[in-house]
Amino acid sequence: MLASAASYLLIAAAALQPVLAGVYITSPVGTTQATGGQVIEVKWADDGKTPTVASVGPCSVDIYTGSTNNQIKLQNLAASVDVSKTSSISATIDPSIGQDDSHYFVRFTSLSLKSETAPQYPYEAFSAMFSISSMTGSFNQTTLAAISASNSTTVSSSNGSSSNSSSSGSSASSKVTAGLAASASKSGSSASASASKSTSAALKDVVPAGMLLGAAGIVSYLIL
């Protein structure tokens, strides 16, 4: 009887361990070299943090450029994709949306979930900045100004964006990339980190539960 009670308590405690997840974009990454007129594959995984992907639900997936406070949408890749039911999409990059540049990024915008820190805005997740070549368009002055604005600030919060389209150095680029990752994962990790980091984060939540279940078996054995 005592053994059963001890086992029940430990198993119940294990069940209370939170299963945390969120949208962590694993492709494109900072080293991605996409090509206008060709297909780009966007992939994501759980990032081990709240909210759950089920809570995030359907999202609009778009290519953006711009600055921290002025993100400019260039192309919709998917009008509504449920991030809890699939983990990748593919779409053809419209070469006319801009010029050859290394300051593009993909943004996920939830169609139902609001931001935890700023509920007047939707939940958003960002990829690292990446390059697109063989483009046929150009950025207008408004877009160039928005991109240039990110050169003068250090991105250290959510809603990150891209840097100067013509002369930004690696330092500015890495700062912006880090800002995008902070929005995407809500954990301050680098936006160009591999999917293995999100797996490790998820394992951190799974291991305590497993340990508790193991302890339940030990307690039962000792009591018996």
Q: What is the pLDDT of residue 104?
A: 96
Residue 205 belongs to a domain: no
Structural domain boundaries enclosing 172: 21-187
SS3 state of residue 181: helix
Looking at the chain, list the stretches that DSSP marks H as alpha helix, in order from N- to C-terminal side.
Answer: 2-15, 53-56, 141-149, 170-185, 195-223
What is the total count of domains within the chain? 1
Residue 200 belongs to a domain: no
Q: What is the pLDDT of residue 149?
A: 82
**Residue 65 pLDDT > 80:** yes
**Residue 124 pLDDT > 80:** yes
Q: What is the pLDDT of residue 73?
A: 98
> Which CATH number covers residue 36?
2.60.40.1930
